[in-house]
Structure 1
Amino acid sequence: MPAYAQDEPPRPGRRRRREDDGPLPDERPTDIIPAIQEAPMARRPGAAPPPPQGSEEEYDEIFGEDAYDDYDEYDDYEDYEDEQDFEDEDRAEPERIEDERPDRKGPPPKKRKKKRALGWVAALAVLVLLAGGAYYGFTEIFGYDDYEGSGEGDVLVQVEKGDSTSAIGNRLQAAGVVASGKAFVKAGEDNTAVSRLQQGYYVMKTKMSGASAVEKMTAAASKVGQVEIRPYTQFHDITQPDGKVTPGVYTLLSKASCADLNGTSTCIPVEELRKTIENADLAQLGVPPWAVASATKAEHKDRRLEGLIAPGIFNVKPGWTAEELLTDVVKISAKRILDAGLSEQSKGAGKTPYETLVIASIIEREAVKADFEKISRVIYNRLDEKMRLEMDSTINYVLDRPTLLTKPEERDKAGAYNTYKSVGLTPTPIAVPSAEAIQAALKPAAGEWLFFVKCEKNGLSCFAVNFDDHRKNRDDAERRGVI
């Protein structure tokens, strides 16, 4: 085999043999026979002198000038040798077999071409970059559908807690508000109000442009159905001393139900809510099991849910029936009351969960938060001593007035909520209790107080163990104009 052939790549499908592989099965080792030097042939007169032995001219004369052309077809396999280099790293390059003519030189070695695989990788990377750039440009210019104009008919869209801008866009698309969620997202990129959208219901229009949808959804008038019920609130409205009316739970829920959808009002009147509570199965509404029996027996049927509506924000869907609305609010409230710590397993000492809720409502109406635990202790001590509670808040509850001092004639009237006449707790709670009031009802402060009176203008009360000290506290508060 010519010496230069060892530097050429193997043909496809064939493994390059190593010198230490040994002979093939039917191959016998051949002895190296010294070459026999032939006598030079006589040259005819006038003929050109023969080329020097071992030169390229002599090689071309014997094999032809195109002897190497056949090797070009194997250029694609030049990289194969690189892949096999690891096989040859730990052994020396094999000796070349001596040619018959020691002084003959082979053809000049060919230069190794650059790895074609690297070229393909580079080309592929360029194609990926070009494709990515094309896609980005297409998306920016043509990548989403969008309506034109400010829309057509009204439609209600709900946003859930934790919704991202993209999620809101998808909800709008599903409701037919925008042609694509991205139309809303792109239009709201520079509007910080979009990122502040809260859960709840929004009145939108069908077939709005993304920009129009952003503008309408961030407008305050589009948010509907949201109501905040605060601690201290009761179901009936309260008339303040100056004549102003503080809306109760009935009024708040009725107002929250209102929206104008395509010219039709969704408002549920207060009277409809009232009748629903009077006649509903409280268990079906979602009232906690421990409260159903006591609430059902309430003297005033329209007050059966008093105290069972927890404070906080509610999202009421315009278009709900009165029963659907109340069921949603009651079930959410039941969970909040449980989260506040009140349950069948967690209740005031010697009290049922419902009685504990009643105590919490009285605490809410009688004191500021700093005094909650002390007021709770006074209530427990009076109940233990079989004393009448004598709380003005319970009388004013029936009269739909805020907690103020009552008149003698009002305290003389009989009634289950007149704790100047009746011993024990009121039949139902008298207000929406806060989580802090519930905790105070569960864990009253330690003390022997039996009396308290508001003695500071910031609402704080003074506490006493006996009536004489209580009278002194009361006279001092009157002298300073607190009461």
Structure 2
Amino acid sequence: MSDKRDHQAGNSGLPEGHGDDDWGVTRAEPEWVGVGAGTPQHVRRERERARRRRRRRGMVLFLVLVLLLGIGAFFIAKSFIDDRRPSPTPDYEGTGVNDVVIRIQEGDVGTDIATTLVENDVIKSTAAFMGAAHGRDELASIQPGYYKVRTQIPASVAVDMLTNPELRVGAFTIAEGRQLDDIVSTTGAVTPGIYTLIADATCIELDGESTCADPDAFRQAVASSDLNDLGVPEWARAEVERAEDPGRRIEGLIAAGRWNVDPSGSPTEIIAELVTRSARAYEATGIQQTSESIGVTPYEALIIASLVERESQPEDFAKVARVILNRLDIGMMLQFDSTVNYALDTVEIGTTDADRGRVTPWNTYAMTGLPQTPISSPSVEALRGTENPEDGEWIYFVTIDLDGTTMFTNTFEEHNRYVEVARQNGVFASGR
């Protein structure tokens, strides 16, 4: 018995003196009593720290979420505002690329001008031009015509260039009574003719290179071009076709007034535009209808108007027209010094016997009837005076002083008395 107990005791691993009754039964873990009973203090502290960590993580996540939502809202709002906000007006910068000539048409307003500039790559947008032009009163003074500007320039610079009169090109004026060729007086003074005026108007400098047409190029174009290409109106075709001097056959068909030509145009193109627009101006006076009422063709009315222009002052246009018609009716020579001078290299108020004796297509001392062509560019006023001549039986007239006072008479005797007055006043003084 003792051996068995000893064996069991040795195998139990328990201290001596404790029997099976004391240690053979499994016991529960000890329980804490007092404050915090049921949970160890270090466990509570650990759990509290864990809760604080979770709260902090939650707060961080919340703040991150709020931040992300704020950023998102910002970009959404910005995108909305940007969509509603107008884009910057497209405009060029710098001093431009190349010189270019643009045309402002009759009746063009600001938007029309802007469109022309955009089409020629002068400015980038019409909006930029209209913005730059706002408040610029001088823009209203822009006249129809041609202007030298540069491509790809800021709209404000374009406005400056268009309002700079020095940059207007191709503009010139034809005075009343001017003829195609230059007029040289007996004193040597030269009055530029229409061909010279047109040639001067084509002179231009583009990108540092100057060009200028020669007056003779226009004369050659008139002499060699088809009448259709020259813009000759139908009512003048037959007479123009018969003209003996091809270079002068469109005399009178370019009206007096202010003109604009494209410096880059060919001589034929330039002449055609001038003749076409002049024909419209003449037709607006009723030349095709009223000429018939005075017994002449429209082209003959234009010839008479050119004589009226060269022989009288505006206040006498209608009277001189009546004298011409009266002489034509009785088959009397017109005998106008202006028709003699037209064929001369030099001109003067009083012509010589030799000059008056020369037979030319225009010299009315050497033939009856009208000159073959007009002898100048008449004004619209001269044409209206021709179409509406004043009533009277006058056959003669003479300017009696240098102020232009003109006397109209029915008899040769009375006319000669006034001729003597004119001579005494130096009207017929010759430079020869």
The answer to whether TM tops 0.5 is: yes
2:156 maps to what in 1? 211
In structure 2, what is the equivalent of residue 44 of structure 1? none
Please point out which of 69, 91, 114 is paired with 1:146.
Answer: 91
Contact 2:318 2:390 in 1 (8 A): yes
Cα distance in 1 between the residues matched to 2:90 and 2:232: 47
Q: Which amino acid aligns with 1:445?
A: E
What secondary structure does 1:201 align onto?
strand
Distance 1:194 1:465 in 2: 56
Question: CA offsets, 1:177-232, max 9 Å, x none?
Answer: 12222322222334322221111111111121222222222112211122222320
Deviation at 1:138, TM superposition (A): 5.1
How many aligned residue pairs are there? Answer: 347
Q: CA deviation at 1:462?
A: 0.6
Q: Which amino acid aligns with 1:318?
A: P
Contact 1:371 1:460 in 2 (8 A): no
Which residue, 238, 243, 251 being the options, matches 1:298?
243
Equivalence for 1:3 = none
Larger of the two Rg values belongs to structure: 2
Does residue 421 (structure 1) correspond to residue 366 (structure 2)? The answer is yes
1:278 aligns with 2:223: yes
- Asked if structure 1 preserves the Cα contact closer than 8 Å seen for 2:229 and 2:268, the reply is no
Q: Take 2:335 and 2:384, find their aligned partners in 1: how far apart are those partners?
A: 23
**CA shift in 2, pair 1:352/1:403, >3 Å:** farther
The residue number in structure 2 matching 1:260 is: 205
1:284–1:314 distance in 2 versus 1, CA, 3 Å: same
1:327 to 246, 253, 272: 272
C-alpha displacement of 1:418 = 1.9
The residue number in structure 2 matching 1:392 is: 337
Residue aligning to 2:10: none
- 2:408 is aligned, of 454, 460, 463, to 463
Please identify runs of 4+ aligned residues in structure 1 that moved more than 6 A: none
Q: Residue 346 and residue 412 in structure 1: after superposition, are their counterparts in 2 closer, same or farther (change >3 A)? A: closer
Aligned sequence identity (%): 38
**Partner SS for 2:259:** strand
Distance 2:120 2:221 in 1: 31
Counterpart code for 2:351:
T
Instruction: Give the direction of change, closer, same or farther, for the CA distance of 1:401–1:371 in structure 2 (3 Å limit).
Output: farther
Aligned partner of residue 452 in structure 1, secondary structure: strand
Q: 2:137 aligns with which of 148, 167, 192?
A: 192
* 1:251 aligned residue: 196
Matches within 5 A, 1:77-116: none
Q: How does 1:305-320 map to 2 (within 5 A)?
A: 305-320=250-265
User: What 5-or-longer segments of structure 2 have no aligned partner?
Assistant: 1-80
CA distance in structure 2 between the partners assigned to 1:192 and 1:402 by the alignment: 47
Measured in 2, the distance between the counterparts of 1:212 and 1:193 equals 14
One-letter amino acid of the counterpart of residue 146, structure 1? D
**Is residue 373 of structure 1 aligned with residue 318 of structure 2?**
yes
Q: Is structure 2 residue 423 aligned with structure 1 residue 475?
A: no
Unaligned residue ranges in structure 1 (runs of 5+): 1-133
2: CA distance, partners of 1:348 / 1:419: 24
Higher relative contact order (CA 8 A, sep 6+): 2
Q: Please give the secondary structure, in 2, of the residue aligned with 1:431.
A: coil
Aligned mates of 2:148, 2:271 — CA distance in 1: 22
Cα offset, 1:270, TM superposition? 1.5
What is the rounded CA distance, in whole Å, between the counterparts of 2:271 and 2:360 in structure 1? 29
Aligned to 1:450: 395
Aligned-pair CA distance for 1:355: 1.5
Counterparts of 1:379 and 1:190, CA distance in 2 = 55
CA offsets 1:144-179 (integer angstroms, 9 cap, x no match): 122222212112222122222233223222221122
Do the aligned partners of 2:291 and 2:301 also contact (CA within 8 Å) in 1? Answer: no
Task: State whether residues 453 and 474 of structure 1, in contact with CA within 8 Å, keep that contact through their aligned partners in structure 2.
Answer: yes
Deviates most, 329-338 or 284-293: 284-293
Aligned position for 1:233 = 178
Q: Displacement of 1:402 after TM fit?
A: 5.3
CA distance in 2, matches of 1:414, 1:306: 19
User: Could you tell me which amino acid in structure 2 is paired with residue 304 of structure 1?
Assistant: R
How far has the Cα of 1:368 moved from its partner? 0.2
Counterpart contact for 1:286–1:331, Cα < 8 Å = yes
Q: Are 1:290 and 1:344, in contact at CA under 8 Å, matched by a contact in 2? A: no
Deviations 1:47-99 (A, max 9, x none): xxxxxxxxxxxxxxxxxxxxxxxxxxxxxxxxxxxxxxxxxxxxxxxxxxxxx
Q: What is the CA–CA distance in structure 2 between the aligned matches of 1:407 and 1:338, rounded to whole Å?
A: 38
CA distance in 2, matches of 1:223, 1:405: 41
The 1:214/1:441 distance shift into structure 2, 3 A limit, reads same
Q: Distance in 2 between matches of 1:230 and 1:347?
A: 28
Letter of the 2:216 counterpart: E
The answer to whether the 8 Å contact 1:145/1:180 transfers is yes
Cα drift, residue 412 of structure 1: 2.2
Q: Quick check: 1:353 aligned with 2:298?
A: yes
Counterparts of 2:85 and 2:145 in 1: how far apart (Å)?
35
- Cα deviation digits, residues 375-407 of structure 1 (max 9, x gap): 111111212222111100001111155561112
Query: How far is 1:265 from its partner?
Result: 4.4
Task: Decide whether the 8 Å contact of 2:401 with 2:426 is kept in 1.
Answer: no
**Partner Cα separation in structure 2 for residue 278 and residue 211 of structure 1:** 46
What is the letter of the counterpart of residue 283 of structure 1? N
Structure 1 partner of 2:285:
340
Deviations 1:334-372 (A, max 9, x none): 111101221167435232222221111111100001111
| Alpha carbons 2:397, 2:407 under 8 Å: kept | yes
- In 2, Cα distance between the equivalents of 1:284 and 1:296? 13
* C-alpha distance in structure 1 between counterparts of 2:110 and 2:308, whole Å: 43
Identify if the C-alpha distance between structure 1 residues 401 and 445 changes in structure 2 by more than 3 Å, giving closer, same or farther.
farther
Partner Cα separation in structure 1 for residue 375 and residue 348 of structure 2: 11
2:392 alignment partner AA: G
Higher helix share goes to which structure? 2
Alignment partner, residue 63 of structure 1 = none
8 Å CA contact 1:348–1:356 kept in 2: the answer is no
Task: Report the aligned-residue RMSD.
Answer: 2.2
Where does 1:8-157 land on structure 2 (aligned, <5 Å)? 143-157=88-102
* SS of structure 1 residue aligned to 2:331: coil
Measured after TM superposition, the shift of residue 251 of structure 1 is 1.0
How big is the shift at 1:250?
Answer: 0.7
What does residue 167 of structure 2 align with?
Answer: 222
CA distance in 2, matches of 1:348, 1:306: 24
Query: What SS does the aligned partner of 1:302 have?
Result: helix
